[in-house]
Homo-oligomer: A and B are copies of this chain.
Amino acid sequence: MITSVDPALALTIRREESLTSIIRREIERMIDERELNPGDWVNEAMLASRLKVSRGPVREACRGLEQSGLLQVVVNRGVFVRKIEPKDAAELYDLRAALFALAGRLLAPKITKTQVAVLRKLVNAMDRAASAEGDLDKYYPLNLEYHRKLFEFAGNARLLATYLSLVRELHLFRRRALEPSGRMADSNAEHRRILDAIAAHDAEGASRLMEAHVLASKGRSETEASDTK
């Protein structure tokens, strides 16, 4: 999700990218790889010296990340990695479902044969991952990619951006926030039905199926929220 670039190298190359954006990516990476955990305090000075820059660009990066929901800034106290409570996560899941409904409705009428092929390839790959010992490590990224492609193909840039930002927040709540609700094989069967509906240009059907498919992971997150952590 987050393109990883060697910060030191990027520092020498840039000239068409400000330090701020590089630092933002770096912070995103640190959160993504759990070097920073929800609730953790982000020390401006330490980050600055670690990246060999001054505090200015670091602060600017944090302001951007605050707006996108990854960080939380408390006046005169500092910035912290945002904590996603189960309640927040539930809200995000609902929002995600609504976005999927829209994606399906937009995509079904306009999908091309090439795009169908791309999606079908992903579904097949997931089938293999699901049958081979149920390898979630293989299944999960494919699942993420499949869902993402649905939004890319939907052709609404703003919808895609909103979806990605939302997924990033959800991963803050749980690393595998979007794993299939039931068995992988069952989940992928739904992927296949969704793809069929889209390929048949059935907007309403695709929209309904996608929303339902995605709402399942919400229910799952709620039942697990009690025993996890």
Contact = CB atoms under 8 A, between A and B. Distances in A.
Interface in A59-104: 59-61, 63-68, 75, 88, 91-92, 94-95, 97-99, 101-102
Residue of A59, A63, A106 most packed against chain B (CB within 10 A): A63
A18 to B, nearest CB: 5
Contacts of A68: 67
A66 B18 CA distance: 14
A102 B159 CA distance: 15
A10 interface: no
Contact of A95 (B18, B88, B159): B159
Nearest to A20: B63
Contact of A91 (B20, B94, B97, B159): B159
A229 interface: no
A227 interface: no
A157 B157 CA distance: 23
Given A95-B102, A101-B101, A106-B94, A158 B88 contact: yes
A56 interface: yes
Nearest to A98: B102
B98 A16 contact: no
Query: A interface, how many residues as a size bin?
Result: 20 to 34
A133 interface: no
Nearest to A160: B91
A156 interface: yes
A154 B59 CA distance: 35
Interface string A160-176: 00100000000000000
Interface of A: 16-18, 20, 56, 59-61, 63-68, 75, 88, 91-92, 94-95, 97-99, 101-102, 106, 156-159, 162
Given A63-B63, A95-B156, A95-B158, 11 more contacts: A18-B75, A60-B60, A63-B64, A64-B67, A91-B157, A92-B158, A94-B156, A94-B159, A95-B159, A98-B101, A162-B162
